[in-house]
């Protein structure tokens, strides 16, 4: 029996796209629109990158 794995967008490519440092190829964008697995990974990366930016800044403790 021969199983073929679906081609998914590489995690490093999804991370770079989420970070805005690289653009996905046409086939990668098309795949991302239809693949729930890749959408989920991409969503996690986007949330990680934007979640840190939305945290309130920490206050500096008073100088002694």
Helix (H) or strand (E) holding 36: helix 36-53
What percent of the chain is modeled with pLDDT above 70?
70
What's the mean pLDDT in 27-47?
Answer: 96
Quick check: is 36 in a domain?
A: yes
Asked whether residue 41 is assigned to any structural domain, the reply reads yes
Domain of residue 19 covers: 11-52
Would you say residue 45 lies in a domain? yes
Model confidence, pTM = 0.70
Residue linked to tokens 């890749």: 38
Q: Is residue 58 part of a domain?
A: no
- If one counts the domains in the chain, the total is 1
Report the candidate in 5, 24, 4 with the shortest Cα–Cα distance to residue 14.
24
The answer to the question of residue 17 being in a domain is yes
- Given a contact cutoff of 8 angstroms between Cβ atoms, the answer to whether 12 and 21 are in contact is no
- Give the mean model confidence (pLDDT) for residues 9-34: 96
With a cut of 90, say whether residue 10 has pLDDT above it.
yes
Quick one: pLDDT band at residue 36, thresholds 50, 70, 90? very high
């Amino acid at each position: 029996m021969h199983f073929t794995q679906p081609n998914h967008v590489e995690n490093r490519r999804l991370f770079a796209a989420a970070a805005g440092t690289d653009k996905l190829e046409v086939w990668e964008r098309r795949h991302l629109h239809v693949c729930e697995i890749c959408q989920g990974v991409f969503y996690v990366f986007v949330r990680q990158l934007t979640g840190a930016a939305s945290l309130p800044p920490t206050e500096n403790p008073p100088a002694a």
